[in-house]
Amino acid sequence: MPQERTLDLWHGQIKPTVRIAGSGAPLVFLHSWFGPVWEPFLDLLARDFTVYAPSLPGTGPGDVDGIKALDDLWDLVLYHYELFDALGLKSPAVVGHSFGGMIAAEVAATDPTRVGKLGLLSPFGLWRDDTPIPLVSAMPPQEIVRRVFNSVDHPATRLMFPNRSDVDAVIRVTWAQNCSNKFIWPIPDKGLKKRIHRITAPTLVVWGKSDNLIPPVYAEEFKSRIGNARIELVNQASHMAPFERPQAVADILVKFLKG
């Protein structure tokens, strides 16, 4: 099980929980729109790296008001600079999934020195008029499941969509989604396309072949805008590829990060 560390950031207004496990070179993992979940995928990465998995402001235990301290995306990016500094991380590998991928790309674009290698797992952040990304926050849970999982029967769906009888879990997941929505609503294009060319870190873009939320055509969109990037597509996986195919995604990332 990971250790937990609580930080005091943003002039005492944000107190994120950072889960830490493993040994080796540092790797920061920025979680998806569904909130901070320590998943088997992270245990696999912790075999080769010291994994730091921070909660988005507002989503950690005792930090429900943390999101109120950030007004916009630029605040969120600067906050992550502060987070990295508090953890003593100088140019670590950074892996971001979904909404976390959008943050990871923004950090790497706005200050290229802060990211050594970059892993983007089905990230938000770009927009194509010919392939619009649906407004996930307006979907009923059963529609979201269908879009983000290759199989609606996958056990990981219970982590994302807890039974309604578990009121605390439902509130936790719903609030985490609302915290992310603050930065991606109504569409997740907040200008990354204007600065993504500034990313200098070697970048791996990983996408589930069956992603029905952000279609795989966006993998090519990211690759075409980042100078040093390549793509890996994962079979039998949708938007939640790290949950559906943890070993496959971890193997791809470890090979890239250690190469």
Task: Tell me the three state secondary structure of residue 219.
Answer: helix
What is the model's pLDDT at position 138?
A: 86
What is the model's pLDDT at position 91?
A: 98
What is the model's pLDDT at position 52?
A: 98
Structural domain spans, the chain: 3-258
Q: Which CATH class is domain 3-258?
A: alpha beta
Beta bridge partners of 29: 95
- What is the reported pTM? 0.97
Question: Between the CA of residue 218 and those of 36, 100, 105, 133, 224, what are the distances in Å?
Answer: 24, 16, 14, 10, 10
What is the model's pLDDT at position 137?
A: 84
**pLDDT one-digit tens code per residue, 93-111:** 999 999 999 999 999 999 9
What is the model's pLDDT at position 186?
A: 92
Q: CA angle, 131 as apex, 130 and 135 as ends, to 5°?
A: 130
**pLDDT one-digit tens code per residue, 198-247:** 999 999 999 999 999 999 999 999 999 999 999 999 999 999 999 999 99
Question: How is 104-156 classified by DSSP, letter by letter?
Answer: HHHHHHH-GGG-SSEEEES------TTSPPP-GGGS-HHHHHHHH-SSTT-TT
Residues of the chain with pLDDT under 70: none
